[in-house]
Chain A
Amino acid sequence: MMPGKLAKTAGFLIYAAILLILVPRLIDSYERWDLYYTLTSVALLSIASAGVWLTFFIGRINIGQAAYALIGGYVSAVMVVDHGISFWWTLPAAGLFCAVVSVFVGLPILRLRGVYFAMVTLVFTEVAKMVALALPITHGASGIVNIPLPGALEIFGFTLIPDFNTLDNSRRGFYFLSVVLMLICFLGMYRLVHSRMGRLCFSLQQNEELASSIGVNISYLRIVAYAISSFLGGIGGAIFAAISQSVYPSSFAVADSINFMLNCFLGGLGYVFGPMLGTFVLYFGWDWLFQTGKYQLLIFSSILIALMLVLPNGLLSIRLPGWKKNG
């Protein structure tokens, strides 16, 4: 039933090679530079969606990821603009800040389940936006603009990543950055889900009381999973702020939170790589339908409804009929 470990590694390497070598070649030869931006967005959104997927994995519906993306974007932007810190330091800082925030937010709200958790996280998205509007450090409604492009990253005098200003096409730089991060993220996610901790998390999804009764530390696991999820949201948001060189309170709103969730649903909740596929299909589908003008939303939503009717368990469930490993 399961392909061998070697085959999986090979598959992943081929996939990475396609993304990192073939796709840039194709884009360069067809001169479709706009695709860099689109694919970068897909990569970043799928990182954030992977976080949402992880909370689904422990049995929670998370509609609050946009809040962490927003926080991550602001942390990075404030550090870069107001304190002149290199972007490469602010990136992990943004993620860690979000993880710390999520521990404090998560401690009380992770006790909630089902729709209650979903609703509180939805409300949290709104709270984050309003706090961004009210705090002086975020510059209110005008947001933070003119964020400089990331500079060079040097370790012991060795230039690891060149200054984005010196690149002839900074979009290309962001593409590589996002795709590499996405690959690392999903690799890590795959490892996590298939580790001992992943098994324990899966037990939470099925029955928390039972898991608790046989000695699983459920509150610890919930917090850790939620913190990882928020970390990913913060990373995604921070890079987004760097690409668009601006961040506003409305950069990430409720609609984004819902989209992150939809990406997971569409790809399939039972599959680690579901969020990646879901994000890709949703984002490209929406972009591609742009040519239909005012019927864009109508066609888009009709296709979504039709997909739900045909494949209620996500796109990835089509390839593996009868494979019910993760529920």
Chain B
Amino acid sequence: MEQAIVNGLYLGSQYALIALGLTLIFALMNVLNFAHGQLYVLGGFITYVVYGQLGLPFVLALVATAVTLALVGAAIEKFLFRPVIRRSVREESTMLLAAAIAFFLDAVILLLFGEKQRGVPKIMDGLLNWDFRIVMPYDRILIGVLSIFIIVGFILYMQYSKPGRAMRALAQDRVAAQLMGVRVDRYSMIGFALGAMLAGVVGGLLVTITGVNSGIGGPISIKAFMMVMIGGAGVISGAIAGGFILGMMESVGLFYLSSYGDITYLIIFASLMVFLAIRPQGLMGKPWG
């Protein structure tokens, strides 16, 4: 049981990071980013190339991943989402665009990196063994702690920096923010870049443990959607809560129900539907976000 909880915390910290980026993009632009999982995979592969193949330090690889993904995210916002949002009659049209971008990134990733499962050398050896009740490799602990640091850093950035304040204003009320002199276009772009960067960094962190392959983008997106739904769309604290809740449910569920096959996910999905029927806005969301 202790093992399941520790695993859940570790998993939750990764999930929360993924959900943070998705919810940020949703809050700023009302766009459901279907391509989020693909951005995660792209980040994983960039870390794989820089750290695994070129042999540069892991930290450098993470920085390279973050910068590349931020640029990709900014470009997607500026050249794709912005013109489409401006010209489409119904804002749901962005979903087709997001899905098309997801397909596109899937194709690019497949062509560039192939379909094989890729892994990199461990960043740290050894494992923590507490009386065989909790067994946890050091590298997982390090990645978990790193993710929590990034989450805290992100929250501080959103709370206290000028762009963070501008983005929160934008999320609350786009028109009002514009009237108060917030440069809406610019901060939408920064927000999208930041969201993409978070997705990529998680991919980069996790490539050291689970590896990466080009097919996992879609499933990751669906999980990210679920976390955002649990916590409430467009709310940062909700995304973090959703990430940890899903991580914990998966870990504990697999611990107790692994003998029944996929029943864990069936229970998670079904209970999510029931939960949303009772509380449509999630744990912390605004109604009808």
Bound pair: A and B? yes
Seen from chain A, the residues whose Cβ lies within 8 Å of a Cβ on chain B are: 56, 61, 108-109, 111-116, 118-120, 122-124, 126-127, 130-131, 133-134, 254-255, 258, 261-262, 265-266, 269-270, 294-295, 297-298, 300-302, 304-305, 308-309, 312-313, 324, 327
- CB contacts (< 8 Å) of B96 on chain A: these are 261-262, 265-266, 304, 308
A112-B280, A312-B93 given; A126·B269 CB < 8 A: yes
Smallest CB–CB gap between B276 and chain A, Å? 5
Q: Which of B238-269 contact A (CB under 8 A)?
A: 261-263, 265-266, 269
- CB contacts (< 8 Å) of A108 on chain B: these are 277-278
Interface centre among A56, A262, A301 (most CB of B within 10 A): A301
Q: Is B80 an interface residue (CB 8 A)?
A: yes
Smallest CB–CB gap between B124 and chain A, Å? 35
Q: In chain A, what residue has the closest Cβ to B232?
A: A116
Q: Is B110 an interface residue (CB 8 A)?
A: yes
- CB contacts (< 8 Å) of B110 on chain A: these are 294, 297
Q: Is B90 an interface residue (CB 8 A)?
A: yes
Smallest CB–CB gap between A320 and chain B, Å? 12
Interface centre among A61, A131, A304 (most CB of B within 10 A): A304
Which 4 pairs from chain A and chain B are nearest by CB? A108-B277, A312-B88, A301-B103, A304-B100
Which of B32, B84, B87, B104 interacts with A115 by CB under 8 Å?
B32
B262 touches A133 (CB 8 A): yes
- CB contacts (< 8 Å) of A298 on chain B: these are 104, 107-108, 111
Chain B residues with a Cβ closer than 8 Å to the other chain, count: 49
- Across chains A and B, the number of contacting residue pairs, with CB separation under 8 Å, is 142
Q: Is B226 an interface residue (CB 8 A)?
A: yes
Q: Mark B98-136, 1 if CB is under 8 A from A, else 0.
A: 011101101110110000000000000000000000000
Whole-angstrom distance between the alpha carbons of A217 and B148 in the complex? 48
Interface centre among B95, B101, B233 (most CB of A within 10 A): B95
Which of A123, A269, A324 interacts with B226 by CB under 8 Å?
A123
- CB contacts (< 8 Å) of A56 on chain B: these are 92
- CB contacts (< 8 Å) of B281 on chain A: these are 116
Q: Is B218 an interface residue (CB 8 A)?
A: yes
Q: Is B45 an interface residue (CB 8 A)?
A: no
A120 touches B87 (CB 8 A): no
B218 touches A327 (CB 8 A): no
- CB contacts (< 8 Å) of A294 on chain B: these are 110-111
Whole-angstrom distance between the alpha carbons of A286 and B84 in the complex? 23
Q: In chain B, what residue has the closest Cβ to A306?
A: B100
Q: Which of B116-174 contact A (CB under 8 A)?
A: none
A131 touches B266 (CB 8 A): yes
A116-B281, A127-B266, A305-B101 given; A312·B106 CB < 8 A: no
Whole-angstrom distance between the alpha carbons of A108 and B277 in the complex? 5
Whole-angstrom distance between the alpha carbons of A113 and B276 in the complex? 11
Q: In chain A, what residue has the closest Cβ to B277?
A: A108
Q: List 18 extra interface pairs beyond A109-B277, A312-B93, A324-B89, CB under 8 A.
A: A109-B276, A112-B276, A119-B228, A119-B276, A120-B272, A122-B225, A127-B270, A127-B273, A133-B262, A261-B96, A265-B92, A298-B108, A304-B96, A305-B104, A308-B84, A309-B84, A312-B84, A313-B93
